[in-house]
Amino acid sequence: MKKKERMEHVIMGDSLRFIHSADLHLDSLFKSKGHLPERLLKQMRSSTFEAFDRLIDQALYYDVDFVLIVGDLFNESIRSLKAQVHLRDGFKKLCKKGIPVYVSHGNHDYVKGNRYPIDYPENVHVFQTEEVERFSYWKAGIHKANLYGFSFENRAVRERKVQDYRKEENPMFHIALLHGSLETNTDHDVYAPFKMEELYERNMDYWALGHIHQRQTLSHIPPVVYPGNIQGRSRKESGEKGCYLVGHNGEEWNLTFLPLQSFIYEEVTVSCEGVSSPKDLESIFENAKQQISHTNSSVVLSVELVSSSGILNKWESEGILEEWVEIVNEGENFEEEWIWIDRVMISEQPVWDEEELIRSQHFAGELVKGADEVTEEEIEEWISPLFQHRKASKYLSVLTKEEMKKVKEDAKRVAIEQLLMREDNHS
């Protein structure tokens, strides 16, 4: 079944249909490794607003019963008037069509942080406190759904909240909104922690989650779903971003992802084996762009160049790589979909065999074994002074597990290279 046919099938048979979104992060700042032209920076700064506008358009197009926004509508607790008014105007469009909106606030836009709130139209229902509350949704005299949720009053909610969700009355559906994370999650700050068993025990029909920016389905029966955020804001938030169109046809749930982003972050790897001249880099970067030309969105691109010759590091130190990136980027037309190379990484593949080094009596083998035994905790301890530095800390973000692993591998490679190079020079 084609996507369009499938969506029409879902819509025609739905006894309930809604949009599940979260983590709008309106007013977000955007980080870049390089200098961005002003017109591109302007597009990026408006991207969260544009993604929200598309969310409203989709709700109207699919004539949903209601819209859920599960926390972090704003990127900061002190919300700009611009962001609040933009949100209100979108809600007004839904109000004209009789579409309710159910909103909870999360750790970024916690309730007590907003000093200058504005009024939203009557179709907007906000969970105001950290006590789990209930809203009822009726349509044509039928009690279709109860919606349960809470908002963060302060920046952090550390206690478990799931036990406070209790089904009330007898609507067709019980839907729970929860801005929080699995207690075992290590990639994000853990707020309102929960276990899957705890969710199952509440016997809800659908768990609408927020807080984790990666799209995830933790369970299918019942659905326990993170829609992710609606617009990627850094390299860590790559790929398509959007919301879910959720429908129930009387027998089962159907979830269709609706992309909303203005642009995406992507990363590609390109082999530079055989490259001997700087002029070859133009085709290398064009090849990198071709790898993601199938997307229907503008792209902020990170390129990893792989080689074993060592020539790339030389060209990088001479500024040749940076100059070619500037030349390729200058050819982009920002009136249409664009691909902007934002970061170039060099991955020099070792010309030695680690297993052979370990088996040998060479000191480099001891270095390999020692490096492999280094823990994440030790790396965090070694780099912590950087994050405490008054000036440097402003430009740093916490390393992910993958980034930590890469730091260790890069350090090991450089150390072995230097060791073997010195040995060659003295032989």
What are the pLDDT digits (tens) for 211-255? 999 999 999 999 999 999 999 999 999 999 999 999 999 999 999
The fraction of the chain above a pLDDT of 70, given in percent, is 88
The fraction of the chain above a pLDDT of 90, given in percent, is 65
349: nearest Cα among 304, 289, 401, 319: 304
Mean local confidence (pLDDT), 182-203: 92
Q: pLDDT band for 29, please (50, 70, 90 cuts).
A: confident
Question: For the chain, which residues make up each domain, given as ranges?
Answer: 3-259, 263-349, 352-427
Residue 31 confidence (pLDDT) = 66
Residue 54 confidence (pLDDT) = 99
Taking only the tens place, the pLDDT of each residue in 352-384 is 666 777 777 677 677 777 778 888 888 888 888
Top pLDDT among 244 and 116 is at 244
Residue 375 amino acid letter:
T
Taking only the tens place, the pLDDT of each residue in 136-171 is 999 999 999 999 999 999 999 999 999 999 999 999
Selected from 3.50.80, 3.40.50, 3.30.1380, 3.30.9, the CATH number assigned to the domain covering 263-349 reads: 3.50.80
CATH fold match for the domains 3-259 and 263-349: no
Top pLDDT among 420 and 61 is at 61
Inform me whether the pLDDT recorded for 103 exceeds 70: yes
CATH 3.60.21.10 assigned to 3-259 = yes
Residue 33 confidence (pLDDT) = 57
Entry pTM: 0.82
Inform me whether the pLDDT recorded for 3 exceeds 50: no
The answer to whether 304 and 268 are in contact (CB under 8 A) is yes
Inform me whether the pLDDT recorded for 308 exceeds 90: no
